[in-house]
Amino acid sequence: MKDTGQNTAFVEFKSVQKSYDGVSLVVKDLNLAIKKGEFLTMLGPSGSGKTTCLMMLAGFETATNGEILLDGRPINQVPPHKRGIGMVFQNYALFPHMTVGENLAFPLEVRGMGKSEREEKINRALDMVQMGDFSHRRPAQLSGGQQQRIALARALVFDPAVVLMDEPLGALDKQLREHMQYEIKHLHNSLGISVVYVTHDQGEALTMSDRIAVFDDGRIQQLASPQELYERPQNSFVAGFIGENNRIMGTLVSVKGDHARVKLQTGEVITAAAVNVTTPGQQTMVSVRPERATILTNGDQDDLQTLDAEVIEVVYMGDLFRTVLKVAGNENFVVKTRNTTGQNLLTPGQKVKIGWVASDARALDP
């Protein structure tokens, strides 16, 4: 993220709650501060509350309790068209009977902008998304990727204070979706705009975001940079939702400083980083990323935590091998290894040892 020189909140949720039926809360006491120029992603499964938060910020939903501020100004009572917020939706939401140019002109006309200024802003916005030659076409004459570029241009054309994106790439095929991720991120970097992005795709969130707010059950489970979330998840939900993750169940034996000793279901005692475990005897989940584990070919290594394993399956994926093993009661323990020249494939049923650096494993409350 560019340094905007401002660390104060540009968008802020203060103790925000939302209920549709007056009984159950779909958003529970949300407190979130987003900096000016930041790309923040709200990530979570369906029903976690992320889209509801975006709709409240846009003004399409009303907060049941709490306050939402934009640049220090309360906006709970401000109608959507007066919030100065751009929106990009998954279904593009373009007017089919209008040309591309007319679609972009619409939010400018609503704001009472003159014709010459409208044309200047439309041309600039289309150039931003490499669609300058498409002004006279209609949406039906464009591909999905082109329509999404136009939807993005329309959100940017009136120089909004912040742009909200609700699953904007969900309708695109995989290759185009990945290409558009980089395009949107580069556009964000060049313009320095504030973006609040909603997705359930964790790979998309890791690729694009300055920070990610991981939602579950109406609450933020962890708010951090992509690297922090992936490398240091604070609970079992985040560990399981962000990237592929191995889980080994056990019982906490002791905690000393930052290290926990955990007795596994098969009797082995291992060491892991103590994250949110404190009480000996409590059930614990040890989390290990597939690329942090190693299949040992020359016996134990003194610097690694090692366990016996049995090969279940080996999948060739081109640049790497994905090996599924039975480890300490987990029959779906995955190890990812780079495909190096002359590497011998393991065979199902083969007994091996696996290992990892103790600090790469995290003892979490399950």
Report the CATH number at residue 312: 2.40.50.140
Q: What CATH number should be reported for the domain holding residue 53?
A: 3.40.50.300
The mean pLDDT value for 158-183 works out to 87
Helix (H) / strand (E) element for 208: namely: helix 202-208
Mean pLDDT of 302-310: 89
- Residue 309 lies inside a defined structural domain of this protein: yes
Question: What are the tens digits of pLDDT across the range 193-244?
Answer: 999 999 999 999 999 999 999 999 999 999 999 999 999 999 999 998 998 8
Kindly state whether residue 103 falls inside one of the protein's structural domains. yes
One-letter amino acid of 357? V
Using the Cα atoms of residue 336, residue 341, residue 345 and residue 351 in order, give the sign of their dihedral.
Answer: negative
* Pair 41, 212: CB distance under 8 Å: yes
Same domain? For 114 and 231 the reply is yes
Whole-prediction pTM: 0.88
Domain for residue 1, yes or no?
no
pLDDT tens, position by position, 107-130 = 888 888 888 888 998 998 998 888
Lowest-confidence segment of 29-43, 93-107, 256-270 by average pLDDT? 93-107
CB 20 within 8 A of CB 56: no
Cβ 304 vs Cβ 345: under 8 Å: no
Whether the per-residue pLDDT at 158 is higher than 90: the answer is no
* 336 touches 263 (CB < 8 A): no
Mean residue pLDDT of the chain comes to: 90
Token readout for 17 is 């709650």
Would you state the structure tokens that stand for residue 325, as one six-digit string?
Answer: 């093993």
Residue 30 lies in a domain: yes
Do both 220 and 93 map to the same domain? yes
The answer on 181 and 80 residing in a single domain is yes
* Res. 5 pLDDT band, cuts 50 70 90: very low
Look at strands 39-43 and 211-216 and give their pairing.
Answer: parallel
Give the Cα-Cα-Cα angle 193, 196, 200 (nearest 5 degrees). 140
Determine the structural domain holding residue 123 and report its residue range: 9-236
Confidence of residue 2 (pLDDT cuts 50, 70, 90): very low
Alpha helices per DSSP H over 140-196: 144-156, 174-191
Question: Exposed, middle or buried: residue 345 (CB in 10 Å: 0-12, 13-18, 19+)?
Answer: exposed
Number of domains in the chain: 2
Given 236, 258, 284, the domain boundary residue is 236
Note the pLDDT of residue 343: 64
Residues with Cβ within 8 Å of 155's Cβ and at least 6 positions away in sequence, in order, are 86, 87, 88, 163, 165
pLDDT for 8 beyond 90 = no
- 2 within domain boundaries: no
Query: Does residue 122 lie within any of the structural domains?
Result: yes
What long-range pairs does 178-186 form, CB within 8 A, spacing at least 24? 178/207, 179/145, 180/145, 180/148, 181/207, 181/208, 182/207, 183/129, 183/149, 184/152, 184/208, 185/39
Q: Where are the alpha helices (DSSP H) in 111-173?
A: 115-128, 144-156
206 shares a domain with 86: yes
Main-chain phi, psi angles of 175, to 5 degrees: -65, -45
What's the token pair of residue 90? 């998954």
